[in-house]
Amino acid sequence: MRGLGKIVGASLALCLFYGVAAAETVKLTVALEPDQQGKPGKGTATLSIDTATKTLTGTIEYSGLSGPPQMAAFLSPPEKQGGNPGTLPIPLPANPKSPMTIKMPMPEAAIAAIKGGEWMMLLGTKKAPEIGGEVKPVE
């Protein structure tokens, strides 16, 4: 019976070790540029995803928008050619000022997809998105 307790204890320790080892922090960056050439507006986003807690945190710095930002979102590639991109809204602070700190839950499917690439981030005012860029892994 005592040997069984050691085996169970060792098995539990291995499961905990590998569970922690499987968690990672995914670091991403976005260079935010105007949606039209010659328009003002620029920025950067520095993001991290904790895969264990499924939480995205980060900072968005921006300048040159026509007003305070009132919307931000991630766009994923369309599921079908010619389809609409998927949208994942990014909650903004009540009184957004640059730099903004963001924190949001990330669905597991979104974590896998954003790591795969081809995602965009948009930041805009009440009128429309004004700056955006491709979400890229930090190398």
- Residue 103, pLDDT above cutoff 60: yes
Q: Is residue 85 part of a domain?
A: yes
The answer to whether residue 63 is domain-embedded is yes
Q: Give the range among 13-27, 31-45, 112-126 with minimum mean pLDDT.
A: 13-27
What was the pLDDT predicted at 19? 45
- Residue 7 covered by a domain: no
For residue 97, pLDDT over 50 is answered with yes
Confirm whether 30 is domain-assigned: yes
Q: Is residue 14 part of a domain?
A: no
- In whole angstroms, give the CA distance from residue 124 to residue 46: 17
Report how far apart the first and last C-alpha atoms of the chain are (Å, whole number): 51
Q: Strand (E) positions, the chain?
A: 25-34, 42-50, 55-63, 71-76, 86-89, 100-105, 120-124, 129-137
* Residues of the domain holding 122: 24-137
Average pLDDT (100-107) is 95
pLDDT for residue 12 is more than 50 = no
Question: What is the number of structural domains in the chain?
Answer: 1
Q: Is residue 62 part of a domain?
A: yes
Per-residue model confidence (pLDDT) at position 14: 43
Give the pLDDT confidence of 32-86 residue by residue, as tens digits. 999 777 788 999 999 999 999 999 999 999 999 999 999 999 999 888 888 888 8
74: domain CATH number?
Answer: 2.60.40
